Amino acid sequence: MIINVPYTPRYRSVAGPEQILQQEHIEFVRPLKDVRVTKLPTSVTFECEVSKPRLSPQWFKDEQPIRSSRKYDITSEGCVHTLVLKNVETMDEADYTVRVKSIKSTANLCIQGYAGAEGRPVDIRRNTYSSNPQPKVTWQFNSGPVPITRNLTVDTIRNMTSLCIGHAQAKNAGKYSVSLENPYGKETLTLKVVVLCRPGAPQDFAVTSVAENHVTLKWSPPESDGGREITGYIVEKRDPHRRGYTQVGRTGACEFKVTRLVAGNEYVFQVSAENQVGVGEPAELSHGVVAKSPFGECTYQSRDVEESLRT
């Protein structure tokens, strides 16, 4: 006789390498997000959040591992993992990936702004495009045609176009756009180019008040800040018969009171704007200023003096 007895497996805990562990379930609460940059230089932050704390992430740029350095600041706090790119340049445009255990998230850094120092080349080069038939490529500068000169060239080959500014000048700063058009559609990309240089001369420089020992000067900000915020103004004076100027003060405002002047002496003043690049061209008064009382010379004489003069 054959009796069928149902088999019930029994389990027991086994220590060592044969122990079976249940895999943790991890997911992104907040994945990485794409970043678009329109002004350089700047800093960029990629941040994500996962469902489990105290995990060690790995970061990649175009699938190449990156670590904390002067360029990259990598931090983790609880479930949040952060990558900061410092002093972003055009070469930093790429895909950035964070990998935590078996999951990963990828985001793209797109740079649509270019910065270059005055006198140095600026190369605007985009990734290759794909089009069939090949498109008509049109570059524009500030909504008009690009002024092709010795220091500005445009090159277009199959599936790629580029614009290069050699020995960049302040006048090359502005908005550049490139359009690709064929019978099936049109795409346009706009880029902002900032040429970093010293600021221009302050405008509307004038004297607002004169006294025996002080003069008040006033002006307006320069037309061009050189691509950087104005950090202050330098005020200087000189004798009309000398060429050399002496600094009398610095200010963050567009007004300055020059003190400790000698009554009756004539002075010439100038003011210069300053940014992170350096000190720009000065604005100079067109004529000298004599330190004197606004009420003129005093002609009052006492009664005793008058009587003595009569006798």
CA distance 262 to 231: 31
Q: What are phi and psi of 238, to 5 degrees?
A: -155, 165
Which runs of E-coded beta strand occur in 2-112? 28-30, 35-37, 44-50, 58-61, 64-66, 72-77, 80-85, 94-100, 103-111
Q: How far is CA 266 from CA 103, 211, 271, in A?
A: 76, 12, 17
CA distance 267 to 219: 17
- Domains in the chain, start-ordered, CATH in brackets? 28-111 (2.60.40.10), 114-196 (2.60.40.10), 203-290 (2.60.40.10)
DSSP state of 41: S
Question: What pLDDT does residue 298 have?
Answer: 44
Q: What is the dihedral of CA 247, 249, 250, 252, to 10 degrees?
A: -140
Q: Is the pTM of this model over 0.75?
A: no
Peptide bond into 221 cis (omega under 30): no
User: Could you tell me if 172 and 195 are in contact, meaning their C-beta atoms sit under 8 angstroms apart?
Assistant: yes
Spatial CB neighbours of 115, under 8 Å, sequence gap ≥ 6: 39, 40, 41, 193, 194, 195, 196, 227
- pLDDT tens for the chain, 311 residues: list them: 444 444 444 544 444 444 444 557 899 999 999 998 877 678 999 999 999 999 999 999 999 999 999 999 999 999 999 999 998 877 788 899 999 999 999 999 987 665 555 666 666 665 578 787 889 999 999 999 998 888 888 989 888 898 888 888 888 888 999 999 999 899 898 888 888 889 999 999 999 999 999 999 999 999 988 888 999 999 999 998 888 999 999 999 999 999 999 999 999 999 999 998 899 999 999 889 999 987 765 443 434 434 444 54
